[in-house]
Structure 1
Amino acid sequence: MLDINMSDVIAVLSSLVPYLVVLGVVLVAAIIITFAVNKKTVKDVSVRKLIHSESWLVVLVAATVAIALMLTGPMATLLNNATAKKYKLSDETIATANAQAQELYGEAVTMLQNNDGNLPLTGTNKLNVFGWGSTQPILGGSGSGSMSNEHPMASILSGLKQAGFETNSALTDLYTKYRAERPVLNMFQQDWTLPEVPADQYSDSLISDAKSFSDEAMVVITRFGGENADLPRDMKAEGVTYVNNSKDYEDYKQGESILQLSQTERNMLDLVTKNFDKVTLVYNGSNPLQFDFLANYPQIKSVLWCPPAGQTGFNALGDILAGKVNPSGKTSDTFLKDVRSTPTLNNIGNFPYDNVEDMSAKVSFAGSEYMSSPTFVNYVEGIYVGYKFYETAADEGAIDYDELVQYPFGYGLSYTTFDQKMGDVTYADGKVSFDVTVTNTGDVAGKDVVEAYYNPPYTDGGIEKASVNLVAFEKTKELAPGESETVSIEFDDDDMASYDSKGAKAYVLEQGDYEVSIQSDSHTVIDSATVNVPETVTYDSEDNTHDGDKTVATNQFDNAEGYVTYLSRANHFENLEEAIAAPASMSMSDETKKEFTNNDIYKPSEHDDASDEMPTTGAKNGVRLAELRGKDYDDPQWDKLLDQLTFDDMENMIAMAGYGTAAIDSIGKIKLTDLDGPAALINNFTGVSSIAFPSAVGIANTWNKDLATEFGKTLGKMAREMHVDGWYAPGMNIHRSPFSGRNFEYFSEDALLSGVMAAGEVAGARSQGVYSFIKHFALNDQETNRTAMLVTWANEQSIREIYLKPFEMAVKDGGAQAVMTAYNYIGPTYAGANPALLNTVLRDEWGFRGFTLTDYFAGFGYQNADQEIRNGGDAMLATMDVTNHVTSKSATSVKAMRTASHNILYTAVNSWQYENGEPKVAMPVWKTGMWIGVAIVAVLVIGLEFLTIQKYLKRRKQATVSIAAPAADAPAEA
């Protein structure tokens, strides 16, 4: 979702041009009339004065009408948002949310290394904190993940202080004097500079005093990411803005990525490790850093991964270092020794088509115009994303695991040790179940995670399958030393099914032995058992669907596969080198060109169905929206309500759904408010925000379902206090690449972990009557070119098993009521207007009931309301007039608008605002002021018109008298 407030303003000003042009024409006409009607052209002064007065009265009336039309038209949404009453959080809610956010972060921090029991720091309360990032830590991300300054935020240093640590102020002063603020990295400008004090600027006395201050050192390394830009894979690439910290050397060489240390950071580590034998490294960021350097620094005893911390998270970091909290986080991504060794490296980023001049489209946005042309990206790795590739490729002998992987997926250390014992595995009635007894065998209390994986039978050249697949997980309560807890693991056998897009074109659970294991991470097996599936099950009939699907899941995305060589496990990944290479061709195929569409190509009339009948509109049935609360989506009363809507009612609600949906007074539908972002609700119009929680990566790192649900509940409670109805989150796109700028906003490289956390958040918010817009649906897994007609090529198996699964879980398990669609295309079809995605899969297969909303609507050359409403789209996240209005009034179009309105209203009436019947809402302040202004002008015009006519009549009378007077004085006729 774009965070475009200034652009909104510019675009709205652009949309005012037609009104201003009309007003200008009237004004020019009045001026012309004023000069043209003079003593020479009109000798009668009374007529001349009357024309002058009337022309300027027309200008006044025209100005009033134009202003009223501008206010109620293109400016209405912005004014509604900007003048909304400020509902702030109560002190009690703020305190509760801050405490909960801190607790969550205590389980999000992941200990990657702790040699010699270096942590916790029990021998001293003094700590030297090195690294410029210690003074400017990462709390969130840019764009929709931006943080608000409304509430106080804990920093790394303040978190250490509250935990009882005293930090070296001389080091802090050095960093704050070096640079006070982080370089600009936002939606429209990316300065990737990593400020860090060069080693030669640390004086001998500073280091000497630091050694005297404490023998413990902590080094903070940060990496920032955000919306609309991916992290640089090559810091020397064209277009990458970076300023070196020293004139004596360059921070990066050609081909080095931002996820590697800069030379200045290496120099700092050299300096610190030369002078301190016990060093703790804190990595504060969302994207997995390349930790290959650790082998060179034995002095670095401990490593902590600290994702963006939100409002109070860093207080928990202080408690962890002090030993008050035992870290229990597990990695949500795989950490590589070389981030460039990922199989996605050559197929992320910028790939413009070289033969699409005829497919370009004009974009008018924020007062500027440009031509946009299609681009593409190939998901060549298929289902082998993240650990599923590294584990499977290692099992097949295609890679050396130890050379590639630094820290596996699901990995994390504790201050204590645990023993896990797997009980007997039962497979009956389609369910696999077993108990795991977890015992704290160490000296301090702590929590552990039970991770269950399966390894399915694989036939060489058959359905693609990873050898390691997370299937279930549970987190223990806090266990005292010696204490045990028995955790129950249960999952359906169809959770182990694979999607066969070539043969059965359905989900298939193949017969054979499935190894079910408990593991400390994706690579390390603790214990395992074999489950035998006696015969193959194909989920291809109405009474045998996959995972409770309402209709059979079968191929829907054949046209998204394209001409791509996908990675295959066949013959021990024989095609690895060929598959993961950069695209061999940059040309769009003729077949794709025939299906591809954008705003310059799509014509609504060409898609009308002659058999469609015009729906009833504007009926007087007297049904109020509140009467439909809790009723089935297909209840007959909905038809009576929908019959009452006029074309304009539906069109306005559909077209202007930015940050909320419009009111329809005739049915009692009030204006609802929807807000960004992933970790907090931020109202960019009123300046009010909720408490910000740790990033989605941090939530995933907890591996704690209950914490995700509690976060959703708390966010829902905060939303109610802020009078917010919908939440533009959670984001559940996949960490396909470690370089995605928006990984902070998404959970993990794993679909199941992402889906469980997302479903928990959605269910928690829904329990408070708040609907969540799960996003970005779907395959929006990179920021580069995301609004440049990005054609995403992926095979059906990976689409279903990897990229759609988190959304599926959020709908089926979380009860999601709203969906935000993605900017990209899936094959040749824009995701926001893809009927296979939005109707067949989302609604028919999964049973979704609610409405879909575009990502920020600026047209971009391919977003248009006509196409979207006919293909499963319902509302446009627009605050200005671009291509978001429905232009066709055909029966097909009105029928689609009726369906979209039904979906929007169904979600609205089942939100918290309608819990106690029809809400009573006062007229917006700006609208009240406008009507008062109009009334004043109307009185003024009537008064001026009265005076004008009165003066005209007076002048006419005087003129008549003056003409008659000489005749009276003339001599009488003889």
Structure 2
Amino acid sequence: MLDINMSDVIAVLKSLTPYLVVLGVVLVAAIIITIAVNKKTVRDVSVRKLVHSESWLVVLVAATVSIALMLTGPMATLLNNATAKKYKLSDETIAAANTQAQDLYSEAVTMLQNNDNNLPISGTKKLNVFGWGSTQPILGGSGSGSMSNEHPMASILSGLKQAGFETNSELTDLYTKYRAERPTLNMFQQDWTLPEVPADQYPDSLISDAKSFSDEAVVVITRFGGENADLPRDMKAEGVVYNNNSKDYEDFQQGESILQLSQTEKNMLDLVSKNFDHVTLVYNGSNPLQFDFLANYPQIKSVLWCPPAGQTGFNALGDILAGKVNPSGKTSDTFLKNVRSTPTLNNIGNFPYDNVDDLSVKVNFVGSEYTSSPTFVNYVEGIYVGYKFYETAADEGLINYDDTVAFPFGYGLSYTDFEQKMGDVSYKNGKVSFDVTVTNTGDKAGKDVVEAYYNPPYTNGGIEKSSVNLVAFEKTKELKPGESETVKISFDDDSMASYDAKGAKAYVLESGNYDVSIQSDSHTVIDSATVNVPKTITYDSDSNTHSGDKVAATNEFDDAEGDVNYLSRADHFANYEEAVAAPASMSMSDEAKKTFSNNDIYKPGKHDNADDKMPTTGAKNGVRLADLRGKDYDDPQWDKLLDQLTFDDMDNMIAMAGYGTAAIKNIGKIKTTDLDGPAALINNFTHVSSIAFPSAVGIANTWNKKLANEFGKTLGKMAREMHVDGWYAPGMNIHRSPFSGRNFEYFSEDSLLSGVMAAGEIAGARSQGVYSFMKHFALNDQETNRTAMLVTWANEQSIREIYLKPFEMAVKDGGAQAVMTAYNYIGTTYAGANPALLNTVLRDEWGFRGFTLTDYFAGFGYQNADQEIRNGGDAMLATMDVTNHVTSKSATSLKAMRTASHNILYTVVNSWQYENGEPKTELPIWQTGMWIGIAVVAVLFAGLEIVTVRRFVARRKPAVEVIAGEQ
């Protein structure tokens, strides 16, 4: 979601221009009349004064009418949001949420290395904490993931103090004096500078004092990301803003990325490692850091990955270092020794088409005019995303795994040891199941994760398949030393099916042997068994669908494949070099041009259906929205309610759905409130915020379904206290690249892990009556060019298996009731107006019932309400008038508006505010003030008009008497 409220204000002010022009014309006319009607042109003083008075009274009326129209028109949504009553959290809720956020983070911290049992720290309570980031840690991200300052936040240093540690204040003073704040990195400005004190600026006395203070050193390295910008792959690339920490050297060389250590960071590690033998490295960030340097520093005994921590997460870090909490996190992404070894490297970022001048459009955004032209990105890797590539490529001999991967997906250490034993595997009635007995064989209490994977039979040149696929997982309770727990693993056999886009055009579970294993991570097998599927099963009929689909899935995105050469496992990835190379052509094909659409091209009339009949509007049926609560979506009473809506009712609710949907008085629909962001609810208008939880990456790192669900429940409870109906989250796009700026807001590189966590959060929020806008639907996996008509080329198999799967699980398992669509195109069709995505897949296949909402609506040259409502879109996340209003009043348009209204109203009435009948509504305070103002002006006008007329009569009377006397 594009979080630009100040920009909203600027844009709204610009949208007032027509009203101000009219007012200006009236004002100028009054001035002209006042000047023109003078002693020379009108000798009668009474008439002259009357004309002057009436002209300025007209100005008063015009000003009043103009202001009222501005307030109730372009400014209404902003005023509604800005003057909303402030509902704050109770002290009890704040305390409970803070505790829960800390508990969650205690399972999110992931221990990547712990040589010589360096952790937990014992024998001292004093720590030397190195690294500028220790004074400015990463708590969230920028944009919709920004943190609020309403509630106190725990820092790394305060968390250590809370756990009983004393930190070296001389080091902290050095860093705070060097730079007090983190460089600006937001949606409109990115300074990628990594502040770090150069090693030669550490006084010898400081290092000497540090060694005397403690023999334990903790080094903090941070990386920040956010909305609207991806992390630089080349710090020397044009447009990358970065300031070196020293004039004596460059922090980065050509081709080095921000996910590598800067020279200043390397120098700091040199300094620390020369003086301390026990070093703990804390990496605080969402994007996997390049860990090629660890072999050079044997003094770095321990490595902890600490994703953005939210409000109180860092208190848990202190407890982990102290040994009060045993880390149990597992990686949600693969960490590489060279981030440039990912197959996506050459196909992320800025790829403008070079032959699309005819498709360019003029865009007016926040008062700035620019020309926007289509761009593109090729998902060349197909299904081989993250560990699915590295594991399969190693099995096929394409890569040396140990030279490539630093820490596998699903990897994490503990202060204790566990043993996992796999029971007999049962395969009956389409279900695979087995028990896993987990025993704590160490001497400390802790939790472990059972990770189940499968390796399907693969035919060279056949359906693309990864050799390692996460299929199920469970986390144990806390096990005491010697204690065991039996964990049940169960999944449907169609979970092992692959999508055959070329042959069957359906999901297919091929016959053969499937290796089912339990593993400590994506690479390390603990035990395995063979499941034999005797006969190929093709899920191609409505009586035999895949994963509970309402109708059988078949190819819907052939037009999104384009002419891309996709990576294939065939012949040991024989096409690897060719497939993962940068695009050979920057031109859009003639075929693609024919189907491409934007606001200059799309004309509603061309898409009208002549057979459509105009639906009823404005009926007086007396049905109230509250009457429909709990009724089926297809209940006949819905038609009676929808018949009562006027065009304006529907258009206002559809067009102005930014941060909530409008009230409709005649059916009892209240104004709702919907808020960002992924880890907390933040009302940017009232400045009220909930407690912020750790980032989505952190939640994924817990591998704990229960914690995800509890987070959703708590967020739902906080939403109710804040009087919030909808939550713009969770984000469940895929970590396709380690460089995506918004990876902090999304869960993982793996679709199953993402889907499980997202479904848990959504179900938790829904249990409290709060609907979640799962986002960004779909394939919005990079920030670069996301609003620049970004044509995303991907094949059907990867779309379904990788990028849609978390959303599918959120609908089927989490009961998702709302969707925020993505900015990008899928093929040549904007995702927010893609009928295959929003109708065929989301609603027909998955059975979704709810409403879809655009990402922030600013037009951008291609967002168009008419197009969207006709293709499965329901509401525009807009707070200002651009192209968000329905302009066509044809029968086709009104039918689409009626469907969109149905979807919105169905979601709203089944939310918490309608639990006890029709909610009470209050007139917004600004409207009350407006009507009072209008009443005062009316009285003033009437009084001035009376005075004017009386004066006119009084002036005319002597003139009449004079004339009569002369006669």
TM (normalized to structure 2)? 1.00
C-alpha displacement at 1:966, in angstroms?
Answer: 4.8
2:932 alignment partner, SS class: helix
Q: 1:99 aligns to what SS in structure 2?
A: helix
- 1:510 corresponds to 2:506: no
Matched, 1:710 2:727: no
Instruction: Tell me what 1:809 maps to.
Output: 809
Instruction: Indicate yes or no: 2:544 matched with 1:544.
Output: yes
Structure 2 CA distance, aligned partners of 1:211 and 1:140? 33
In structure 2, C-alpha distance between the alignment counterparts of 1:964 and 1:585, rounded to whole Å: 95
- Pairwise CA distance, 1:946: 1.1
How far did residue 367 of structure 1 move? 1.1
- Report the Cα distance in structure 1 between the residues aligned to 2:74 and 2:96, rounded to whole angstroms: 40
Q: How many angstroms apart in 1 are the aligned matches of 2:301 and 2:83?
A: 54
Q: CA deviation at 1:468?
A: 0.1
Mapped partners of 1:198, 1:322: distance in 2: 30
Check if 1:369 corresponds to 2:343: no
Equivalents in 2 of 1:829, 1:345: separation in Å?
25
Equivalent-residue separation in structure 1 for 2:383 and 2:123 (angstroms)? 48
Structure 1 residue 694 corresponds to structure 2 residue 694:
yes
Where does 1:526-925 land on structure 2 (aligned, <5 Å)? 526-925=526-925
Instruction: Give the Cα–Cα distance (whole angstroms) in 2 for the partners of residues 62 and 650 of structure 1.
Output: 29
Gaps of 5+ in 1: 968-974
Whether the 8 Å CA contact 1:229–1:784 is kept in 2: the answer is yes
Q: Within 1, Cα distance between the matches of 2:80 and 2:55?
A: 34
Cα displacement (A) at 1:6: 1.2
Distance 2:38 2:963 in 1: 21
Q: Which residue of 1 aligns with 2:440?
A: 440
**Deviation at 1:961?**
1.8
Deviation at 1:964, TM superposition (A): 3.1
C-alpha separation between the residues in 2 aligned to 1:886 and 1:31? 39
User: Following the alignment from structure 2 to structure 1, what is the Cα–Cα distance between the partners of residues 210 and 620?
Assistant: 80
Given that residues 655 and 878 in structure 1 are in contact (C-alpha distance below 8 angstroms), is that contact kept between their aligned partners in structure 2? Answer: yes
- Give the letter aligned to residue 451 of structure 1: E
Q: For residues 203-228 of structure 1, give each alpha carbon's deviation from its aligned partner in whole angstroms, at most 9, with x where no partner exists.
A: 00000000000000000000000000
Give 3-state SS (helix, strand or coil) of 2:464's partner: coil
Q: Which moved more, 1:590-599 or 1:957-966?
A: 957-966
What CA distance in whole angstroms lies between the structure 2 residues aligned with 1:956 and 1:371? 63
In the alignment, structure 1 residue 378 sits paired with structure 2 residue 412: no
Is structure 2 residue 412 aligned with structure 1 residue 412? yes
Contact kept? 1:360, 1:373, Cα under 8 Å: yes
Task: Give CA deviations for 1:857-904 in whole Å, capped at 9, x if unaligned.
Answer: 000000010000000000000000000010000000000000000000
Residue 900 of structure 1 aligns to which amino acid in structure 2?
A
1:343 aligns with 2:343: yes
Within a 5 Å distance, the mapping from 1:436-515 to structure 2 comes to: 436-515=436-515
Determine the structure 2 residue equivalent to 1:147: 147
| SS of equivalent to 1:844 | helix
- Tell me the equivalent position of 2:4: 4
1:191 maps to which residue?
A: 191
> Is the 1:128–1:167 contact (alpha carbons within 8 Å) kept by the matching residues of 2?
yes
| Aligned mates of 1:542, 1:893 — CA distance in 2 | 31
Aligned partner of 1:970 in structure 2 is none
* AA in 2 matched with 1:692: A
Give 1:962 deviation, angstroms: 2.8
Classify the secondary structure of the residue corresponding to 1:548.
coil
**Mapped partners of 1:848, 1:959: distance in 2:** 80
1:236-247 equivalent positions in 2, closer than 5 A:
236-247=236-247
* 1:845 counterpart letter in structure 2: E
- 1:963 is displaced (CA, Å) by 2.9
- Quote the Cα distance in structure 2 between the aligned partners of 1:192 and 1:367: 27
* Distance of 2:940 and 2:849 partners within structure 1: 52
Work out the CA distance in 2 between the residues paired with 1:127 and 1:398.
44
SS at 2:271 equivalent: helix
Query: Could you report, residue by residue, the CA deviation over 1:396-435 in whole angstroms, capped at 9, with x for unpaired residues?
Result: 1111111100000000000000000000000000000000
Deviation sequence 1:220-239 (CA, Å, 0-9, x none) = 00000000000000000000
Q: Distance in 2 between matches of 1:708 and 1:722?
A: 21
What letter corresponds to residue 946 of structure 2 in structure 1?
F
Provide the aligned length of Structure 1 versus Structure 2.
Answer: 967
Residues of 2 paired with 1:730 and 1:962: CA distance? 84
* Alpha-carbon distance, 1:368 to partner: 1.6
> Quick check: 1:712–1:760 contact (8 Å CA) kept in 2?
yes
| Amino acid across the alignment from 2:670 | I
C-alpha separation in 2, matches of 1:242 and 1:420: 48
Task: State how far apart, in whole Å, the 2-side matches of 1:10 and 1:929 are.
Answer: 23
Q: Does the CA-based 8 Å contact 1:150-1:689 persist in structure 2?
A: yes
Tell me how far apart the structure 2 counterparts of residues 949 and 896 of structure 1 sit (CA, whole Å).
54
CA distance in 1, matches of 2:898, 2:949: 51
- Residues 515-539 of structure 1 deviation map (CA, whole Å, 9 limit, x = unaligned): 0000000000000000000000000
Partner residue in 2 for 1:132: 132
Deviation at 1:364, TM superposition (A): 1.1
Counterpart residue identity of residue 897, structure 1:
M
Task: Give 3-state SS (helix, strand or coil) of 2:921's partner.
Answer: coil
The 2-side partners of 1:753 and 1:48 are apart by: 81
Aligned-pair CA distance for 1:950: 1.1
For residues 919 and 330 of structure 2, the distance between their equivalents in structure 1, rounded to whole angstroms, comes to 45
Kindly report which structure 2 residues correspond to 1:241-390, keeping only aligned pairs within 5 A, or say none: 241-390=241-390
Is 1:793–1:827's contact at 8 Å kept on the other side of the alignment?
yes
Secondary structure, counterpart of 2:547 in structure 1: helix
Q: What one-letter code is carried by the residue in structure 2 that aligns with 1:945?
A: E
The 8 Å contact of residues 113 and 303 in structure 1, kept in 2 or not, is answered as yes
| Partners of 1:87 and 1:266 in 2: CA distance | 48
Where do 1:98-247 residues align within 5 Å? 98-247=98-247
Contact 1:728–1:820 under 8 Å retained in 2: yes
Cα shift readout 1:541-571 (whole Å, capped 9, x = no counterpart): 1110000000110000000000000000000
Q: Pairwise mapping of residues 31-42 of structure 1 onto structure 2 (< 5 A)? A: 31-42=31-42
Distance 1:438 1:10 in 2: 59
- Code of the residue aligned with 2:374 in structure 1: it is P
Partner Cα distance (1:308, 1:174) in 2: 24
SS where residue 599 of structure 1 aligns? coil
Separation (CA, whole Å) in 2 of partners of 1:922 and 1:874: 26
One-letter code aligned to 1:949: V
Equivalent in the alignment of 1:972 = none
In 2, distance between residues paired with 1:687 and 1:30? 43
- For the residue of structure 2 that corresponds to 1:807, the secondary structure is helix
Q: Distance in 2 between matches of 1:170 and 1:146?
A: 30
What SS class does the counterpart of residue 220 from structure 2 fall into? strand
Output the CA distance in 2 between the equivalents of 1:806 and 1:55: 64
* Cα displacement (A) at 1:245: 0.2
Q: Secondary structure at the match of 1:181?
A: coil
Aligned-pair CA distance for 1:461: 0.4
For 1:393, the aligned partner's letter is A
Letter of the aligned partner of 1:124 in structure 2? Answer: T
Shift of 1:947: 1.1
The 2-side partners of 1:966 and 1:355 are apart by 87
SS at match of 2:129: strand
Q: TM-score, normalised by structure 1?
A: 0.99
Number of the residue aligned with 1:959:
959
SS in 1 for 2:433: strand
- C-alpha distance in 2, partners of 1:261/1:727? 37
DSSP-derived class of the 2:293 partner: helix
Query: Does structure 2 retain, via aligned residues, the 8 Å contact 1:362–1:600?
Result: no
Aligned-partner Cα distance in 2 for 1:354–1:385:
28
